[in-house]
A and B are shown apart, each in its own frame.
Chain A
Amino acid sequence: MSLNVLAVDDSRTMRDMLNYALTQEGFTTHLAEDGLHGLEVLKGLNPDVIITDINMPNLDGFGFIEAVRGQNRLRNIPILVLTTESAAELKARARAAGATGWIVKPFDAAKLVKALRMVAG
């Protein structure tokens, strides 16, 4: 059985790329276009791992992660932040919000997959 990944990113290109890369590797991908949409999708989903962007409309990555961590059911799901920014303060903020790890764009598909498998088993 394949792992379920929820990928949240406001860029259609990025969603397509993640979908493509992950599906190839046997993941089952679910997509959302911003934090708010991500929460919607999570209502009916228990993914094994979540990947999220930071800069998104409606509810950004930080807010999304905090919201997810606030739900008992989702409290321990690994969340990887995937973004082009890599400033230390942003990482700290993400960590404070409850992110599990940080991957920088442009991502190497193989590395991403390994990272996912590592946090999600």
Chain B
Amino acid sequence: MAEIRATFFAECEELTEALEDGLTGLSDDPNDRETINAVFRAVHSIKGGAGAFGFKALVRFAHRFETAMDELRSGRIEALPVTVALFFRAADHLADLISNARGGPAPDGPIEDGLLEELEKLAEGQPAEDDAPIEFEPLAFSLDDFSMDDAPPKRRFSIRFAPFPDLFSSGNDPLFILSALADMGEVSIHCDCTALPCLEDLDLQQCLLSWTIELETEQEEADVREVASFVEGLCQFDVTELVLAATGQPALDPLPSFESVRDPIASAAIALTVRDVPDPSKPRLTLSSPDPQSTPLAAPSVATANAAAPPAPDRRAPPDRRAKPDDGKGREAAADGAKESRPTVRVDLDRIDRLVNLVGELVINQSMLSQEISTAGLAKNSAVSVGLEEFLNLSRNIQESVMMIRAQPIKPLFSRMARILRETTAETGKQVRLQTEGENTEIDKTLVERLAEPLTHMIRNAIDHGLESPEKRAESGKNTEGVVTLSATHRSGRVVIEVSDDGAGIDRPKVVATAIRKGLITAEQTLTDTDIDNLLFLPGFSTAASVSNLSGRGVGMDVVRNAIQDIGGRITILSERGKGTTFSISLPLTLAVLDGMVVQVMNERIVVPLSAIMETLSLDQGEISGFANGRRVIKVRETFVPLLDLGAELGYRAAPDRYENAVILLVAQDNGNQVAIVVDRIEEQRQVVIKGIEKNYGRVPGIAAATILGDGSIALILDPADFVIMASGSSRFSSGTLALAG
């Protein structure tokens, strides 16, 4: 049952997502019936499952929500923006209740009451249906045994059960009514066959028998009547209670068991007359067995040996089992029927991590093997080399598959942010719309959680500080409704997530003034726009004149940046006054294995991610074209590209004046510009396993991670973009903090 509970919560997640998607769809197209049905079903299903587990608060709210949605479904109300907004809020609250059911905090009481009231208003005028859903009694046969200590009084009932002819069309079978009654106590059943016509006029689909039953039971009349609840309206079912004789003796003779009761029915059938000259146009009826005792002719619609009629399942056989003609097929179908689409398996994240590590070790192992083999001088086309080649391909495939297990679309995170946006918008009174792009971009599952908080802060900041009030926006000719855009994409081997707003942009003079006031910079320092923007990342920085309820809580961008850096990411700002601000987060894909180029600098080996390298060139002294902005540049085809010496920037050596036989790696930056990195030589191209340095040591500027080479030694993996930032920064500022954006 714990498994099913887990299934329920997993399903709730999907349903909540479907609900939100649907509501978003309704915002665009309020009349789409499919969408309306889908959102109704989502709430309906949540309610159903919640009821099964007894989550009362959840059921109560879901029920009211569902009732309101039913108004929409039946066309009594329309999906107006204000209605959809209410549904969104209700959906958010529903999510909170689900989380509460899971063990999370209890949601806000007043909010819930408010929502319930609003939902009820929507459903006003409609009969309130079953407001206490959890107390539903299955309206089926109530077969509770009364467990009373004393022997309950026996009651006797006389029951007249006369099904209407079309009772069978609802799948009912009088036999089962009779057996149900028999189960309740002692019965005496008499069958009335007088309504039966002669056999050839008999319509198998019609029930023409009726019964009088005498029942002695401890149960009440209501229970007796309930037996026929399914066939209400399809039969005559009269129950009369008989009073026991004063002596306590049953007024009737001892009742025979039900089994022998079949005989009167069977014999009644046998008593049917058959015309002497059957009309050949009418199908002949043959009894399936000449022996009336064992003939399962309890009802006319039983299987007959009539070839023209389709073989109905021989269900009405005596208790000894019957043969099912399609048993074989039934079993096959069983296998298929039990299968559902898209079977999933739940796996502990730990196991996946272990698997990922093992795959990583596999890669290391195979590269060591590769090295041994080439050292041993085996030819490329030898069996061993060929075998190894295949081995490499296989493990590559495994590694890719394993990686895909952990990667998930970022969509759920965006949905969470959508909710934050809705709440923040409500609090600030501004009008904001959310746009998302690339919600199917996959990121490692472990990153999703770590991103939630930083993104939340950024969205709040964007709405609170970035976007202007509707009045101000109107003044500057913008839409009163502000737009916040959340996007995710893969770029040069990293995941880039951006939060941008079309607000007023960073007020740089104000930022500088505040920074000077707080003693973070001096008035004499000249700063570029980027430098000023990056001041925001300094601890304790806040320009909000009035500490607003949200962002002024003391959480500044420095906390956000730390959180991003903790997961190995970078964050940069781009802002244009009057147009808006964009925060760009760049994260490693956290692939455990990377395709890299191993290069040498001063006897140190550095691995450069292959995905970052656009081109490799050999460097001739003559191509260094001198200096520009304090940087050396080289000419690549027709453009001048800044030149960075890897060894120098990493502190291994001073940059040499001359290069001989050096190699250049052309690396593209986030902004599309190119940078040339000089190394001594390229050793090889190979897969490396990424080993984090952060866990033990911390961040190393310019370095993404480390790897273990075939000989067991450690080589650092370059983070090209960060390397470029680091290199540019170091030449202009003595203290690194201001220049570094992330």
> Touching in the complex, A and B, CB below 8 A?
yes
A118 in contact with B51 (CB, 8 Å): no
A114-B41 contact given A17-B52, A98-B170, A101-B229, CB 8 Å threshold: no
Q: What 1/0 flags go to A40-51 for Cβ under 8 Å of B?
A: 010111101000
B341's closest neighbor in chain A, by CB?
A33
B7 in contact with A30 (CB, 8 Å): no
A80's closest neighbor in chain B, by CB?
B140
A78-B45 contact given A46-B326, A108-B138, A118-B180, CB 8 Å threshold: no
Q: What 1/0 flags go to B176-203 for Cβ under 8 Å of A?
A: 1001100000000000000000000000
A99's closest neighbor in chain B, by CB?
B170
Q: How far is the CB of A6 from chain B (nearest CB, A)?
A: 7
B41 in contact with A76 (CB, 8 Å): no
List A58-82 residues whose CB lies under 8 Å from chain B: 69, 72-73, 75-80
A95 in contact with B40 (CB, 8 Å): no
A114 in contact with B169 (CB, 8 Å): no
Collect the chain A residues with CB atoms within 8 Å of residue B334's CB.
4, 28, 30, 45
A100 in contact with B338 (CB, 8 Å): no
A44-B169 contact given A105-B136, A108-B138, A114-B141, CB 8 Å threshold: no
A83's closest neighbor in chain B, by CB?
B48
Q: How far is the CB of A56 from chain B (nearest CB, A)?
A: 7
A115 in contact with B140 (CB, 8 Å): yes
List B135-167 residues whose CB lies under 8 Å from chain A: 136-143
List B368-411 residues whose CB lies under 8 Å from chain A: none
B301 in contact with A76 (CB, 8 Å): yes
A100-B7 contact given A41-B337, A72-B310, CB 8 Å threshold: no
B7 in contact with A79 (CB, 8 Å): no
List A83-121 residues whose CB lies under 8 Å from chain B: 83-87, 95, 98-108, 111-112, 114-115, 118-121
A86 in contact with B136 (CB, 8 Å): yes
Collect the chain A residues with CB atoms within 8 Å of residue B337's CB.
6, 30-32, 41, 44-45
Q: How many residues of A contact B (CB 8 A)?
A: 64
Q: How many residues of B contact A (CB 8 A)?
A: 64
Q: How far is the CA of A111 from the CA of B233 in the complex (A)?
A: 22
Q: How far is the CA of A50 from the CA of B313 in the complex (A)?
A: 14
Q: What 1/0 flags go to B34-48 for Cβ under 8 Å of A?
A: 000110110011011
A41 in contact with B336 (CB, 8 Å): yes
Q: How far is the CB of B75 from chain A (nearest CB, A)?
A: 15
Collect the chain B residues with CB atoms within 8 Å of residue A105's CB.
48, 51-52, 136
List B114-154 residues whose CB lies under 8 Å from chain A: 129-130, 133-134, 136-143
B139 in contact with A86 (CB, 8 Å): yes
- A13 is contacted by which of B49, B139, B338 (Cβ under 8 Å)? B49
Q: What 1/0 flags go to B1-34 for Cβ under 8 Å of A?
A: 1011001101100000000000000000000000
Report if B168 contacts A (CB, 8 A). Answer: yes
- A43 is contacted by which of B172, B229, B312, B333 (Cβ under 8 Å)? B333
Report if A25 contacts B (CB, 8 A). Answer: no
A104-B136 contact given A30-B338, A45-B337, CB 8 Å threshold: yes
B41 in contact with A16 (CB, 8 Å): no
Q: How far is the CA of A31 from the CA of B339 in the complex (A)?
A: 7
Report if B733 contacts A (CB, 8 A). Answer: no
B171 in contact with A33 (CB, 8 Å): no
A103 in contact with B134 (CB, 8 Å): no
A72's closest neighbor in chain B, by CB?
B310
Q: What 1/0 flags go to B438-460 for Cβ under 8 Å of A?
A: 00000000000000000000000
List B298-321 residues whose CB lies under 8 Å from chain A: 301, 310, 312-313, 315-316, 321
Q: What number of A-B contacts does a CB cutoff of 8 Å give?
A: 180
A11-B179 contact given A44-B329, A77-B171, CB 8 Å threshold: no
B168 in contact with A76 (CB, 8 Å): yes
- A56 is contacted by which of B41, B51, B54 (Cβ under 8 Å)? B41
Report if B517 contacts A (CB, 8 A). Answer: no
Collect the chain A residues with CB atoms within 8 Å of residue B140's CB.
80, 101-103, 111-112, 114-115
Report if B660 contacts A (CB, 8 A). Answer: no
Q: How far is the CB of B159 from chain A (nearest CB, A)?
A: 16
Q: How far is the CA of A76 from the CA of B169 in the complex (A)?
A: 6
A114-B313 contact given A43-B333, A84-B133, A104-B138, CB 8 Å threshold: no
Q: How far is the CB of A25 from chain B (nearest CB, A)?
A: 14
Collect the chain B residues with CB atoms within 8 Å of residue A78's CB.
171-173
A30's closest neighbor in chain B, by CB?
B337
B138 in contact with A115 (CB, 8 Å): yes
B332 in contact with A57 (CB, 8 Å): no
Q: How far is the CB of B79 from chain A (nearest CB, A)?
A: 18
Collect the chain A residues with CB atoms within 8 Å of residue B48's CB.
11, 13-14, 53, 83-84, 105-106
Collect the chain A residues with CB atoms within 8 Å of residue B54's CB.
106
A55 in contact with B44 (CB, 8 Å): yes
B7 in contact with A20 (CB, 8 Å): no
Q: How far is the CA of A19 from the CA of B321 in the complex (A)?
A: 24
Q: How far is the CA of A53 from the CA of B48 in the complex (A)?
A: 10
Q: How far is the CB of B226 from chain A (nearest CB, A)?
A: 11
A84's closest neighbor in chain B, by CB?
B48
Collect the chain A residues with CB atoms within 8 Å of residue B332's CB.
44
Q: List residues of chain A with CB under 8 Å of any chain B CB.
A: 1, 4, 6, 10-17, 19-20, 28-33, 37, 41, 43-46, 48, 53, 55-57, 69, 72-73, 75-80, 83-87, 95, 98-108, 111-112, 114-115, 118-121
Pairs A–B under 8 Å by Cβ, sample size 18: A13-B11, A30-B338, A41-B333, A44-B329, A44-B333, A44-B337, A45-B334, A72-B310, A83-B48, A84-B48, A95-B170, A98-B171, A104-B137, A106-B51, A106-B52, A106-B134, A111-B141, A120-B176
Known pairs A73-B312, A84-B48, A106-B51 / 5 extra A-B pairs, C-beta < 8 Å = A30-B334, A55-B44, A78-B171, A87-B129, A100-B170
Q: Which 7 A-B pairs have the closest CB atoms?
A: A30-B337, A44-B333, A101-B230, A45-B333, A100-B171, A106-B51, A13-B8
Q: List residues of chain B with CB under 8 Å of any chain A CB.
A: 1, 3-4, 7-8, 10-11, 37-38, 40-41, 44-45, 47-49, 51-52, 54, 129-130, 133-134, 136-143, 168-173, 175-176, 179-180, 205, 229-230, 233, 301, 310, 312-313, 315-316, 321, 324, 326, 329-330, 332-334, 336-338, 340-341
